[in-house]
Amino acid sequence: LSAGTGSRATAASAVESIMDRLHTTGDACVALKSLIIVHHIVKHGRFILQDQLSVFPSSGGRNYLKLSGFRDEKSPLMWELSSWVRWYALYLEHLLSTSRIMGFFISSTSSTIHKDEYEEMVSSLTNSDLLREMDAL
């Protein structure tokens, strides 16, 4: 995670490594650890890491983390953890796709600045502008 202070290439390499580990593992514990790292980047990561995470892979779309079919069948405990992996991945996929659309990470500690600016902008809109925005949603 210290790659967030380096170059864009270093950050891209770090994100690619995390995603490769996530996509190649069959172990629920390793998958959960990888998802926690992704969530940490979203919540507390530097902008350069968040940026690389938001564009990886460039195609994006549904099933971004590709874990909807994840199964670790080594034991009943791992089977149970697999459902948590799928749920957590789905949560992060929604968070990432929403953040792509909004243009910033909603749950990020740095998004409070954007939130204040957005609240000020919304408070200055007329009713017809607000209704048009609601239609867009």
Query: What span, in angstroms and rounded, lies between the C-alpha atoms of 104 and 135?
Result: 21
Q: Which two tokens stand for residue 40?
A: 């940490």
Segment 4-16, tens digit of pLDDT: 667 788 888 888 8
In the predicted model, is pLDDT for residue 92 greater than 50?
A: yes
39 inside domain: yes
Domain range enclosing 17? 2-109
127 inside domain: no
Query: What span, in angstroms and rounded, lies between the C-alpha atoms of 66 and 60?
Result: 10
Please indicate whether residue 128 or residue 40 has the higher confidence score (pLDDT). 40
Query: What span, in angstroms and rounded, lies between the C-alpha atoms of 97 and 94?
Result: 5
13 inside domain: yes
Least confident of 43-47, 79-83, 108-112: 108-112
Q: Which two tokens stand for residue 119?
A: 């609240």
In the predicted model, is pLDDT for residue 19 greater than 70?
A: yes
Query: What span, in angstroms and rounded, lies between the C-alpha atoms of 21 and 31?
Result: 8
32 inside domain: yes
In the predicted model, is pLDDT for residue 40 greater than 60?
A: yes
Out of 26-30, 78-82, 105-109, give the one with best mean pLDDT.
Answer: 26-30
Domain count, the chain: 1
Q: What is the CATH number of the domain that holds 37?
A: 1.25.40.90
